[in-house]
């Protein structure tokens, strides 16, 4: 039998024995680094166990995971198809702890959506509006700067900036937006514009994608968010977002961004008309590009919210799918440093549980979220730093405030320091 206080990360020895893979303990790896009584309390109540499953298909996958070997296309499909979520979660947690121990990242950020005017009319989306229709808005530059400033404190380390594909705004608007923000908030990291927006700006400005990215970088863009990836496969893309760039163009734009030194994130929108094959194809394409560029920081699975979209007849995702998606992502994307459980999209409760199923990041304070709330999300618009930390600690994890590039942020009463 297994020692009760063994954690998934105690991987000093593993033996496969009659359908269960067991581990022998190597002492208590946390004893010397926990000083928070809160954290200790949870550590003492978390009792881990050996890998166990009745699903024989998972045993060879578990062997690979424990040996640090890469999973195949078929392995990934099996992970989606098994009903044993606890076994998949055990494996994902093992990898997560091997990579990050208990560290769980969050940041103090603010979302800014300069416009919701969008030519694309994606069926997945409740946020975009046609120009001059009710609810359409476009911020004047001063308005965007005021939004950035509202509630601003020096605690903010990131502005997350995404919006619609506006048919009239010139490229200069976006360059001025970025340089104006940089001038006013020089210490804030600007994570701005999805690959889809970049490709659209390039088309409108009649510039190459590389040149567009270079000009954005010169203006002050520090990295790119992961949006717009959806599902790369054409069949699905035609249904949910047929006016967007295709999957290959998304990947090509990300590659160019990485080549000029901009890090980015990557997302996958799941829980609509895609199937397991589509999800596996998406993950493997991201993994292949990451092998090439190393430019992705975080993968963020995004659960589809159907309300107020043309696909509102579809059911919402379930907790099981949300958790499984996090776990499969951690296992398949072995070259992605981080897996984010975006609390706005998953709800704080599911995001918290995900921290035991493969996720090591929970996103940030956000302050004002429009894309999910237009699509019926009932989560709060933002969350305070203390509350994020409480969620993380109560999952028995160690909260680490990070900047966008995952450098730890240390705070005193009056200053914020980013370790470089
Ligand atoms: O690309 C749009 C998705 C994305 C809906 O990089 C929807 O750190 C669900 O990418 N239901 C934008 N999803 C958000 C995004 C993001 C969020 C948080 C952090 C990061 C990061 C990136 O939202 C879009 C699209 O995939 N989306 N509509 C909807 N109805």
User: Which domains, and CATH codes, for the chain?
Assistant: 4-101 (no CATH), 104-418 (3.20.20.70)
CA of 368 to the centre of ligand 1 (A): 14
The model's pTM is 0.89
At residue 380, the pLDDT reads 82
Three-class SS of residue 356? Answer: coil
Q: What is the pLDDT of residue 41?
A: 43
For helices 85-100 and 58-66, give the axis angle rounded to 10 degrees. 10
Q: Which residue carries 């969350």 as its tokens?
A: 383
- d(CA 235, CA 305) in angstroms, rounded, equals 20
User: What pLDDT does residue 411 have?
Assistant: 74
Nearest atom in ligand 1 to the alpha carbon of residue 374 is 30
Residue from 250, 263, 268, 302 whose mutation best tests the ligand 1 pocket (most atoms within 8 A of CB): 302
What are the backbone dihedrals phi and psi of residue 273, each rounded to the nearest 5 degrees, phi first?
-110, 10
Residue located nearest, by CA, to atom 29 of ligand 1: 305
Distance from C-alpha of 180 to C-alpha of 190, rounded to nearest angstrom: 11
pLDDT, residue 381, reads: 75
Confidence (pLDDT) at 17:
35
344-348, Cβ contacts within 8 angstroms, sequence gap of 24 or more: 344/369, 344/372, 344/377, 344/379, 345/302, 345/303, 345/305, 345/372, 345/377, 345/379, 346/303, 346/322, 347/379, 348/379, 348/383, 348/387, 348/391
Percentage of residues in the chain having pLDDT higher than 70: 86
Indicate the angle between helix axes 195-205 and 247-259, nearest 10 degrees: 90
Which residues does ligand 1 sit against, CB inside 6 Å? Answer: 124-127, 162, 194, 225-228, 230, 265, 267, 269, 300, 302, 304-305, 309, 342, 363, 371, 375
Residues of the chain short of pLDDT 50, as ranges, are: 1-47
pLDDT for position 131: 95
The DSSP code sequence of 364-415 is: E--S---HHHHTT--S-S---HHHHHHHHHHTT-EEEEB-TT--BEEE-SS-
- Return the best residue to mutate from 122, 250, 267 for the ligand 1 pocket (most ligand atoms within 8 A of CB): 267
């Amino acid at each position: 039998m297994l020692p009760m206080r063994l954690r998934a990360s105690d991987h000093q020895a593993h033996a496969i024995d009659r359908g269960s893979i067991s581990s022998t303990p190597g002492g208590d790896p946390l004893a010397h680094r926990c000083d928070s009584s809160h954290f200790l309390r949870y550590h003492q109540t978390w009792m881990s166990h050996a890998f166990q499953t009745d699903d024989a298909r998972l045993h060879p996958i578990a062997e690979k995971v424990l040996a640090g070997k890469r999973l195949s296309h078929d392995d990934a499909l099996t992970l989606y198809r098994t009903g044993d979520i606890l076994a998949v979660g055990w494996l994902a947690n093992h990898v997560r702890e091997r990579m990050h121990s208990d560290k769980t990242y969050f940041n103090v950020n603010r979302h800014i959506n300069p416009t919701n005017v969008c030519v694309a009319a994606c069926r997945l989306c409740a946020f975009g509006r046609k120009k001059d229709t009710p609810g359409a808005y476009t911020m004047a530059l001063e308005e965007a700067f005021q939004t950035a400033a509202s509630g601003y404190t020096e605690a903010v380390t990131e502005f997350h900036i995404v919006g619609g594909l506006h048919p009239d705004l010139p490229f200069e608007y976006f360059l001025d937006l970025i340089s104006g923000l940089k001038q006013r908030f020089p210490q804030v990291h600007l994570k701005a514009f999805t690959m889809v927006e970049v490709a659209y700006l390039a088309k409108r400005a009649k510039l190459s994608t590389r040149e567009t990215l270079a000009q954005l970088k010169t203006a002050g863009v520090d990295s790119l968010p992961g949006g717009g990836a959806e599902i790369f496969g054409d069949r699905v893309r035609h249904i949910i977002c047929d006016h967007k760039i295709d999957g290959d163009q998304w990947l090509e734009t990300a590659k160019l961004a990485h080549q000029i030194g901009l890090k980015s994130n990557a997302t996958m929108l799941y829980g609509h008309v895609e199937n397991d094959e589509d999800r596996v194809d998406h993950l493997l394409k991201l993994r292949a590009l990451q092998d090439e560029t190393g430019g992705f920081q975080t993968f963020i699975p995004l659960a589809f919210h159907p309300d107020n979209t043309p696909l509102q007849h579809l059911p919402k995702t379930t907790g099981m799918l949300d958790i499984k998606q996090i776990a499969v992502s951690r296992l398949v994307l072995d070259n992605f440093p981080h897996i984010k459980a975006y609390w706005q999209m998953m709800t704080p409760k599911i995001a918290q549980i995900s921290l035991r199923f493969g996720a090591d990041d929970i996103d940030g304070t956000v302050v004002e979220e429009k894309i999910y709330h237009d699509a019926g999300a009932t989560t709060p618009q933002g969350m305070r730093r203390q509350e994020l930390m409480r969620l993380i600690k109560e999952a028995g994890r160690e909260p680490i405030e990070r900047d966008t590039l995952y450098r730890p942020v240390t705070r005193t009463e009056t200053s914020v320091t980013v370790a470089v």
